[in-house]
Amino acid sequence: MTVITGIGVVTPTGNTTAEHWAATLRAESALARVRRFDPSGYRCQVAGEAPAFDPAEHLPSRLIPQTDHMTKLALIAAKAALADAGIDPADLPRYGAGVVTAATGGGYEFGQRELQKMWALGPEHVSAYQSFAWFYAVNTGQISIRHGLRGPGGVAVADQSGALQAVAMARRQLRKGTPVMLTGAVDSALCPWGWVAMQVSGELSPRPEPDRAYRPFDADAQGWVPGEGGAILVLENDTTKPHYAHIAGHASTYGEALVDAIRLCLVDADVAPEDVGVVFADGAGVPSRDAVEAAAITAVFGPAGVPVTVPKTMTGRLLSGGAAVDLATAALALRHQVIPPTVNVTRPVPELDLVLDRPRPGSIGSALVLSSGPGGFHEAVLLTRPKECMTC
Amino acid sequence: MLTLDALKNTMRECAGEDEAIDLDGDIADTPFADLGYDSLALLETAARIERAYSVKLDDTVTDARTPRAFIAIVNAALPTATVPA
Q: Does domain A3-236 have CATH number 3.40.50.300?
A: no
Q: For chain A, give the mean pLDDT.
A: 95
| Whether the predicted pLDDT of A389 surpasses 70 | no
User: How much of chain A, in percent, has pLDDT values that exceed 90?
Assistant: 93
pLDDT tens, residue by residue, A219-237? 999 999 999 999 999 999 9
- Residue A181 has phi, psi (to 5 degrees) of -130, 135
Confidence of residue A388 (pLDDT cuts 50, 70, 90): low
pLDDT tens, residue by residue, A88-118? 999 999 999 999 999 998 999 999 999 999 9
B16, A131: Cβ pair inside 8 Å? no
| Chain B CB within 8 Å of residue A54 CB | no
From B17, B47, B50, residue closest to A62, measured CB to CB: B17
Tell me which amino acid residue B11 is: M
pLDDT tens, residue by residue, A320-372? 999 999 999 999 999 999 999 999 999 999 999 999 999 999 999 999 999 99
Burial B67-77 (b: 16+ CB within 10 A, else e): bebbbebbbeb
A128, B43: Cβ pair inside 8 Å? yes
What does the radius of gyration of chain A's CA atoms come to, in whole angstroms?
Answer: 20
DSSP, collapsed to helix, strand or coil, labels residue A46 as: strand
pLDDT tens, residue by residue, A278-289? 999 999 999 999
Residue of B nearest to A129 (CA): B40
Task: Map out the domains of chain A as residue ranges.
Answer: 3-236, 246-386
Residue A287, CB-side half-sphere exposure with 13 Å CA sphere: 6
Which ipTM did the prediction report? 0.87
Q: Which CATH code fits A246-386? A: 3.40.47.10
Confidence of residue A238 (pLDDT cuts 50, 70, 90): confident
Answer whether A3-236 and A246-386 agree in fold.
yes
C-beta atoms surrounding A179 within 10 Å: 18
B16, A127: Cβ pair inside 8 Å? no
A323 within 8 A of A317, measured Cβ to Cβ: no
- Residue A236 has phi, psi (to 5 degrees) of -140, 165
What is the helix (H) or strand (E) element at residue A273, kind and residue range?
Answer: none
Confidence of residue A392 (pLDDT cuts 50, 70, 90): very low
Burial A31-62 (b: 16+ CB within 10 A, else e): bbebebbebeebebbbbbbbeeeebeebbbeb
The per-residue pLDDT for A111 is 97
What is the arithmetic mean of pLDDT over A299-308?
A: 98
pLDDT tens, residue by residue, B52-71? 999 999 888 989 999 999 99
The per-residue pLDDT for A286 is 96
The per-residue pLDDT for B58 is 86
A347 burial (CB, 10 Å; 0-12 / 13-18 / 19+) is exposed
Give the closest residue to A101 by CA, choosing from A136, A63, A60: A136
A322 within 8 A of A161, measured Cβ to Cβ: no
DSSP, collapsed to helix, strand or coil, labels residue B48 as: helix
> A8 vs chain B: nearest CA distance in angstroms?
24
d(CA B37, CA B20): 12
The per-residue pLDDT for A113 is 97
Mention every residue, 6+ apart, whose C-beta is less than 8 A from residue B34.
B21
- DSSP letter at A56 equals H
The per-residue pLDDT for A376 is 84
| Whether the predicted pLDDT of A391 surpasses 70 | no
Strand segments, DSSP code E, in chain A are 3-10, 31-33, 46-48, 97-102, 153-156, 180-187, 229-236, 245-254, 278-280, 307-309, 338-339, 353-354, 360-361, 366-373, 377-384
B44, A128: Cβ pair inside 8 Å? yes
Strand segments, DSSP code E, in B1-85 are none
- Displacement of CA B40 from its chain's centroid (Å): 12
| Chain B CB within 8 Å of residue A115 CB | no
A:B CB pairs within 8 Å = 37
B40, A124: Cβ pair inside 8 Å? no
> A284 vs chain B: nearest CA distance in angstroms?
40
